[in-house]
Amino acid sequence: MMMGYGFGFGMFGLVINFLLILGVVYWVIKWVRGGGESRISDNTPERILNERFARGEITEEEYLRMKSILRD
């Protein structure tokens, strides 16, 4: 006898559908936030150099010298 839960699989189908929905929500949230690993891979040497210069950790002369070294 079918009760309308989980496409004919009874309570087991209801639980499977619920877990499937939770999994999709989890992956959507992870995708929207950037995933974490992709942020690490965005740190190229030139980008790190730009950030250090912007924070004032290195002078303009050091920045230009290091930038020319990276581009060679």
pLDDT at 39: 53
How many other CB atoms sit within 10 Å of the CB of residue 66?
A: 17
Question: What residues in the chain have per-residue pLDDT under 70?
Answer: 1-9, 35-41
pLDDT at 10: 73
pLDDT at 66: 94
Residue at 68: amino acid letter? S
Q: What is the chain written as a DSSP string?
A: ---SSGGGTHHHHHHHHHHHHHHHHHHHHHHHHTTTHHHHHT--HHHHHHHHHHHTSS-HHHHHHHHHHHH-
Residue at 16: amino acid letter? I
